[in-house]
Chains A and B, each alone.
Chain A
């Protein structure tokens, strides 16, 4: 019983945390969305492809945070 209850409790807690911290998550996501493209631009202009990939991945994470925050 306990084995089944633990994951449910984790997701419920995570959901509760998301709801109570919605503004913070959204603020962080917004900061990500506005700052990371400039780092991406710098990486593209200086030909640093691995860094550009990393920054684009970060931008995608920012968008996922937006989606998750709701």
Chain B
């Protein structure tokens, strides 16, 4: 298909439609996704020559990609709610700040390390919803608390939620994880230092930031390093979780140092933590009088770590679990203008060895551990399943529609036309500056790094190929930008605000997050420019 302004604008139309629907009309992702699906279908058929077979098979390819993504999303939410219903998540969050009287260190422990750990395990707005009330309980003002809990997780989104976004990146580009992981892990590791520095500054100002530098350097290096190691050793599902877990252990160790243990001029007392009037604090007046132990509280995550390591590193177990796979064969698809999608298998989904299935095994084991310990009130199983369904259905519809749209765009050649236009306008020199901003824009609009990768990863890959740039690095920068863009998304901010009583002050939080978020994306741009030349 020839590159003309009309062709480029029509190819861009489905994306523009999402922008208008979500930003202009304030529609949700599922509704906007459905409209963009129809837009892509109409333009794909009538302007880009997508025949009936091409369009129909595209939808089947899309559903395989969608299932691959939804398997993890639903299972991750299940594990989170199994632990949350048992009171385990809140308990971990309340125990951490008691380790130090230093306000800056408390901010780092909850706003950076604990929020990142939650991002690793759950995501989907959960880290902000859980960590922000805990920060308010420590004396941070609600706007500050939501901004800190959001910014702190920026580095952990891509390999967080058990690497859902990364899994999506692999699914939509059809590239293997080992090829994509290193660049994404390096860029997000760099972002991690900046996230920590912003949290320290927000906790207690410039003096505290200077005092925090040794801690930030150590914690940033540990978390980024562990994430890099896990991601490059086929354990990307544990990337952010593992990084944040080790970070928490090291962070707890750092609180033993005099520099980070005692209250400083900028620190406040912990007296308010157990006040039941404060959001997120333990409600001692409720009927829940069960005493919880920290080792049992974290057992869900320990089980998960053991199972993921075992399923990836114990070869006989891996082979056993991956025996049953859902695979569909597709014929060669050709549009009226000669755009060819080669014949081959679609996305293969391992029914019992998929990261989503490992999450389900962990959730079942954790459920029985908590149940045996007496942590659940009657009817817990029903409440857990209900929360999972209510939390996942809407976003699942959005993902299904957007993946369908992106597959039609790719198979009819629309993505190719878009990429050609961008590569001609920006050129090889300027394009790296724009890569993380494109990813961040997609995530800001859709509220999800996942959806940003669905929307733009194919486009970024094709542009990189046309410009002769490293495809893995460009995609790493795309998903790093998406990771940082998702923390600024209004949809997530609304969730955070609702947990700290800021229901009518979302714009105040948004303006603060935008400042820090854009700084982080600029850092990604600079890192991309500096590193892309050296990346092979």
Residues of A within 8 A of B (CB): 23, 26-27, 29-30, 33-34, 37-38, 40-41, 44, 52, 56, 59, 63-64, 66-67, 69-70
Contact = CB atoms under 8 A, between A and B. Distances in A.
A63 B34 contact: yes
A38 B70 CA distance: 16
A67 B247 CA distance: 43
Interface string B62-105: 11001100100000000000000000000000000000000000
B201 to A, nearest CB: 40
B325 to A, nearest CB: 15
Given A26-B394, A26-B397, A52 B67 contact: no
Contacts of B37: 63
B66 A34 contact: yes
Contacts of B66: 33-34
A59 B59 contact: yes
A52 B51 CA distance: 14
A52 B63 contact: no
Contacts of A37: 59-60, 62-63
B393 A66 contact: no
Contacts of A27: 389, 393
B394 A56 contact: no
Contact of A66 (B33, B59, B60, B67): B33
A40 B394 CA distance: 24
Contact of B56 (A34, A52, A66, A69): A52
B30 interface: yes
B397 A40 contact: no
Interface residues of B, number: 31
Contacts of A29: 397
B390 to A, nearest CB: 6
Interface of B: 27-28, 30-31, 33-35, 37-38, 52-53, 55-57, 59-60, 62-63, 66-67, 70, 328, 389-390, 393-394, 396-397, 400-401, 404
Contact of B57 (A23, A26, A44): A44
Contacts of B60: 37-38, 40-41, 44
Contact of A33 (B38, B52, B328, B400): B400
A63 B37 CA distance: 8
Nearest to A59: B59
Point out which of A23, A38, A67 has the most chain B C-beta atoms below 10 A from its C-beta.
A67
Nearest to A26: B393
A66 B396 contact: no
Nearest to A56: B56
A6 to B, nearest CB: 28
Contacts of B38: 63, 67
A23 to B, nearest CB: 6
Nearest to A49: B52
Contacts of A56: 52, 55-56, 59
Given A34-B66, A69-B30, 11 more contacts: A30-B397, A30-B400, A33-B404, A40-B59, A41-B60, A66-B30, A66-B31, A66-B397, A67-B35, A69-B397, A70-B27
B168 to A, nearest CB: 16
B186 to A, nearest CB: 36
Contacts of B56: 40, 44, 52, 56
B27 A34 contact: no
